């Protein structure tokens, strides 16, 4: 479907929902839609990213297919969400990567791994670019690839991605930010931000109308919400492991690999396990899910991102298990290559939805605070 067709379908379906009102108590989406009867382009983008795809409304709707109205809000808003990623991506020339996520992940990951092995061969000519035999001594990782090279492998792609993601999120905020500046001047942004943070951590909108998502069919479940929280915890623990390793290296003068019971290893292990559990669980739900309320382009983006995360987490855990064997050097190259690919692809993967959704929740929190203030 073209962008105008996607917007037209989202506007048509939401217009029917506004007239019906049956699903108003399910989540924030329908009340937000009733406050935006014009359903402008900015309204549609905001509502699409406010939707958490719990699918309650699809199974409850009396106008869902095969009814002649064929109202399918999760599908219409999933396509609208994907279109918002395409509309705001930077640079725009790379927007096609979002439409071919699986091929992009495969080729970029393979290229990154080959680049890492090339660097290993270039910087370690004395031993052919790999550690021959078992090397468990202090600084063994850095005899495969210097610490400075590892730093630049992380800093450069992550810096690029932060710039690209920031520009995209700013474009989206500019489109959907509150236009009534006078009415919102009295709103305390701190209260709205705290409310947004609570919604993000609790994933309140993944509860649907309360009993949970319709992950597979009309039955309710909280598994998708719990697995998303596990994924967020895994990313947080992995980041904490990186900070701990930085402290060990710069503050304590200790070089990797670190002991099994050290903070970087423990945090990294817990983070990797949490990521694997979340990825496998979400992948299982995705594979079994009813395709009717799901957009194919969104499913491809989900699968590519989950696949890349599984390779990053799996290679990291494999490196931990076999770091005292001759497999250490190639495993280090594979893991660093997958991390490099992950950093490079952040702006062109499902990861970007986190910012769009957070901005939508901030916008909604500002509206709720403003409404309570006006009713006081």
Residues in the chain: 376
Complete DSSP assignment for 58-75: HHH-TTSTTSTT---HHH
> Closest Cα to residue 59, out of 199, 286, 222, 212?
212
pLDDT at residue 367, rounded to an integer: 81
The total of other beta-carbon atoms located within 10 Å of residue 87's CB is: 16
In the prediction, which pLDDT does 262 show? 93
Side-chain-side CA neighbours of 145 within 13 Å: the count stands at 23
Chain segment 97-115, per-residue pLDDT in tens: 999 999 999 999 999 999 9
Listed in sequence order, the residues at least 6 apart from 176 whose beta carbon sits closer than 8 Å to its beta carbon are 42, 45, 46, 359, 360, 363
* Residue 374 to residue 297: CA distance in whole angstroms: 41
CA distance linking residue 11 with residue 183, whole number of Å: 26
C-beta separation of 368 from 60 below 8 A: no
Query: What pLDDT was estimated at residue 258?
Result: 86
* pLDDT at position 179: 65
**pTM exceeds 0.85:** yes
Report d(CA 56, CA 29) in Å as an integer. 12
| CA gap 349, 95 in Å, rounded | 10
Per-residue pLDDT of the chain (376 residues; tens, 9 = 90+): 899 999 999 999 999 999 998 888 788 899 999 999 999 999 999 999 999 999 999 999 999 999 999 999 999 999 999 999 999 999 999 999 999 999 999 999 999 999 999 988 888 665 444 444 455 567 788 888 888 888 899 999 999 999 999 999 999 999 988 665 444 444 455 667 777 888 888 888 888 878 889 988 888 999 999 999 999 999 999 999 999 998 998 888 888 888 888 999 999 999 999 999 999 999 999 999 999 999 999 999 999 999 999 999 999 999 999 988 888 889 999 999 999 999 999 999 999 999 999 999 998 888 877 776 666 5
Contacts of 212 (CB under 8 A, 6+ apart): 54, 206, 220, 221, 222, 223, 224, 225
């Amino acid at each position: 479907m073209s962008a105008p067709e996607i917007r037209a379908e989202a506007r048509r379906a939401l217009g029917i929902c506004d007239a019906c009102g049956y699903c108003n108590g399910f989540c924030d989406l329908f009340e937000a839609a009733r406050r935006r009867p014009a359903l402008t382009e900015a309204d549609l983008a905001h509502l699409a990213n406010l939707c958490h795809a719990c699918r309650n409304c699809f199974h409850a709707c009396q106008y869902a297919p095969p009814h002649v109205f064929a109202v399918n809000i999760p599908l219409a808003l999933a396509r609208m969400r994907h279109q918002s990623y395409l509309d705001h991506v930077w640079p725009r020339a790379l927007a096609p990567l979002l439409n071919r996520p699986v091929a992009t992940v495969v080729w970029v990951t393979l290229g990154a791994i080959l680049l890492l092995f090339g660097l290993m061969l270039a910087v370690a000519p004395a031993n052919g670019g790999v550690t021959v035999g078992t090397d468990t001594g202090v600084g063994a990782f850095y005899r495969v690839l210097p610490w400075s090279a590892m730093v630049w492998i992380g800093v450069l792609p992550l810096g690029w991605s932060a710039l690209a993601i920031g520009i995209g999120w700013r474009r989206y905020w500019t489109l959907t930010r509150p236009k009534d500046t006078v009415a919102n001047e009295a709103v305390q942004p701190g209260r709205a931000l705290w409310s947004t943070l609570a919604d993000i951590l609790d994933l309140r909108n993944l509860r649907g109308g309360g009993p949970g998502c319709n992950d597979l069919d009309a039955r309710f479940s909280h598994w998708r919400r719990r697995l998303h929280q596990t994924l967020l915890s895994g990313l947080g623990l992995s980041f904490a492991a990186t900070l701990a390793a930085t402290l060990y290296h710069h503050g304590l003068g200790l070089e990797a690999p670190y002991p099994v019971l050290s903070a970087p290893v423990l945090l990294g292990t817990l983070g990797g396990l949490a990521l694997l559990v979340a990825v496998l669980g979400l992948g299982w739900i995705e594979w079994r899910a009813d395709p009717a309320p799901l957009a194919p382009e969104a499913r491809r983006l989900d699968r590519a991102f989950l696949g890349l995360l599984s390779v990053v987490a799996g290679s990291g855990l494999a490196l931990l298990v076999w770091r005292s064997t001759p497999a250490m050097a190639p495993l280090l190259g594979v893991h660093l290559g997958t991390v490099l690919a992950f950093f490079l692809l952040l702006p062109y993967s499902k990861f970007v939805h986190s910012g769009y959704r957070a901005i939508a929740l901030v916008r909604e929190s500002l509206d709720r605070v403003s409404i309570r203030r006006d009713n006081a």
